[in-house]
Structure 1
Amino acid sequence: MYIPEHFKETNSERISALIEGNSFGMLVTAPDGAPFVSHLPFIFDRASGSKGKLLCHMARANLQWRHFSSCGEVLTVFQGPHAYVSPSWYSSPGVPTWNYAVVHLRGKPRLIESESELEALVEQLTHVYESHMPSPWKPDLAGERRTKLLNMIVGFEIEITDIQAKFKLSQNLLPEGQQSVIEKLGQSSNQTEVAVAKLMAGESNAEF
C-alpha cells in the first residue's frame, strides 16, 4: 500500500481499534497470480505473538482455503470510516480528495484441523458477535448437528508478520484547513462522515 509519511499510522491502540471496530475484513490470496478475495468476520487477538493473530473460518465450499498451502502469506484488509472532502471547504485553493483509515495485515495462515479447536473457534466467534445482543444466541453443537456444522466450515488462523496502517486525515493541510474539514464533516447527517471528523479530531470515543 502506498503510504506517504504524513499519513502513516503507527499507534498500536488506534490500529487495533480500527481492526476491532471493522472486523468484517477482506482476505486476499493470489494463486497463480490471479487475486481472489473473500469477505469474512475476523477476531483480532492482539496479544498473540509479536504482532498479533487473526482467527476466522470460511465455508468449506469456498476453495480459497486451499490456497494456503502454496501462498506462503496472505493479505487481510480492514477499512475504517471514509468521507469525501470538498475543496470548497478550504480558504485557499485545493483539490477534491478523500479522507479514510485502513489497515493492511500480512501473515502466515494455518488451518485449524482439530475438531475441538474448530468447535472452540466457532464458540469464540459467536460469543464476540453475539455479546451486544439483548439475549445472546449460543451454538448448540452436539451430535449430528455438531458433525454437520463442523464439516461445512474450515477454520484458520493467521500469524501476523507485517502491519501497514494509513490514516489519511488531512495531515497535509495547515491547522485551519484541518479544522474546517472537521467542522464540515462533523455537521453531516451521515454518521460515517461524522466518524471521520471525530477521528481527525483525535477524540477518544471516535467510533470506527
Structure 2
Amino acid sequence: MYIPELYKNENQEEIQHFIHQNGFAVLINQTNGKLWATHIPLVLDLNESGKQILVGHVSKLNPQAESFKTNDEVLAVFSGAHAYISSSWYDHENVPTWNYLAVHVYGKVTIYNHEQAVNSLKKLVDKYEAKSEKPVRVEALSEKTMREARGIIAFEIEITAIEAQKKLSQNRDDKNYKNIVSELEKTNDNQAIAVANEMKENRK
C-alpha cells in the first residue's frame, strides 16, 4: 500500500486496537491464477511462541480454501471509518480529498486440524458474543449443529508485515483542521462523525 510518510501509522498499540475493532476483513490471495478475495472476520491472537497471528476460516467450497495448500501468501485488508472532505471547508482554494483509516496485514497461512478449528471458532464466537444479553457458547452447541464445522477450513496467518495508514488531514493547519472536524460533525453521517472523532483524538 502506498503511504505518504505523513500518514504512516507505526504505533503498534493503535494498530492492534484498530484490528480488534475492525475485524471484518478482506482476505486476498492468488487462486487458480487470478486474484481472489473473501470477506471474513479475522481475530488477532498469539501463537504458542508469543508471535502475533490472525485466525479465521472459510468454507471448504470456497476455491480459496484449496489454494492455501499451494499458495500460502495472503493479504488481509482491514478498513475503518472514511469520509469525503470538501475543499469548500478550507479558507483557501484546494482540491477535495478523502480521509480514512486502513491496515494491510501480509502473512503466510497454516491450515488447522479439526480440533484447532473448533478452538478458533470458540475464540471468534466468544469475541462477538461478549456484548450479547444471552451469549451463545460453542461448547453448548449440540453435536448435530457442530457437524457444520466439518464444512470449513480454519487457519492461522503468520504475520510477516503490517502497513497502516491514518489519513486525517494532518497536512492542514489548526484553523482548517478544526473546521474540517466541525463540518464532518454537521453531516449526521456515522462514518463522517467517526472520522471527526479520530481527527480530534489525533490532534489533541
Instruction: Note whether the superposition's TM-score is higher than 0.5.
Output: yes
Q: Find the aligned partners of 1:91 and 1:105 in 2 and give their Cα distance.
A: 37
Once the two structures are TM-superposed, the CA of residue 42 in structure 1 deviates from its matched residue by 1.0
- With over 3 angstroms needed to count, the CA separation of the structure-2 counterparts of 1:72 and 1:152, relative to structure 1, is closer
CA RMSD, 1 decimal: 2.0
Q: TM-score, normalized by length of structure 1?
A: 0.90
Aligned to 1:129: 128
Q: Secondary structure at the match of 2:69?
A: helix
Contact 2:90 2:179 in 1 (8 A): yes
Equivalent pair of 2:99/2:168 in contact (CA under 8 Å)? yes
Distance 1:108 1:49 in 2: 16
One-letter amino acid of the counterpart of residue 37, structure 2 = V
The alignment status of 1:78 with 2:78, answered yes or no, reads yes
CA distance in 1, matches of 2:184, 2:48: 37
Asked if 2 retains the 8 angstrom alpha-carbon contact of 1:51 and 1:162, the reply is no
Q: Which residue pairs with 2:95 in the alignment? A: 95
Deviations 1:119-154 (A, max 9, x none): 1111111111111111101234454443x2221111
- Partners of 2:91 and 2:47 lie apart in 1 by 45
Distance in 1 (CA, whole Å) between partners of 2:161 and 2:28 is: 15
Structure 1 residue 47 displacement after superposition? 7.8
Partner of 2:174: 175
Residue matched to 2:63: 63
Alpha-carbon distance in structure 2 between the residues aligned to 1:121 and 1:52: 15
What corresponds to 1:187 in structure 2? 186
Output the CA distance in 2 between the equivalents of 1:55 and 1:6.
31
Which residue of 2 is the match for residue 206 of structure 1? Answer: none
TM-score, normalised with respect to structure 2: 0.91
Structure 1 stretch displaced more, 192-201 or 45-54: 45-54
SS in 2 for 1:70: coil
* Preserved CA contact (<8 Å) 2:60 2:66: no
Cα distance between partner residues in 2 of 1:48 and 1:86 = 48
Percent identity, aligned pairs only?
Answer: 35
Aligned length: 202
Q: Structure 1: state its 5+ residue gaps.
A: 204-208
How far apart in 2 are the matches of 1:154 and 1:182? 44
Kindly indicate whether the alpha-carbon contact (under 8 Å) linking 1:80 and 1:101 is maintained by their aligned counterparts in 2.
yes
- Counterpart of 1:180 in structure 2: which amino acid? N
Paired with 1:105 and 1:35, the residues of 2 have a C-alpha distance of 16
Q: Which runs of 4+ in 1 moved over 4 A?
A: 46-51
Q: Which residue of 1 aligns with 2:160?
A: 161
Residues 170-207 of structure 1, C-alpha deviations (whole Å, 9 max, x = no match): 1122222211111111232112111101111117xxxx
SS of the counterpart of 1:25? strand
Task: Extract unaligned runs of 5+ from structure 2.
Answer: none
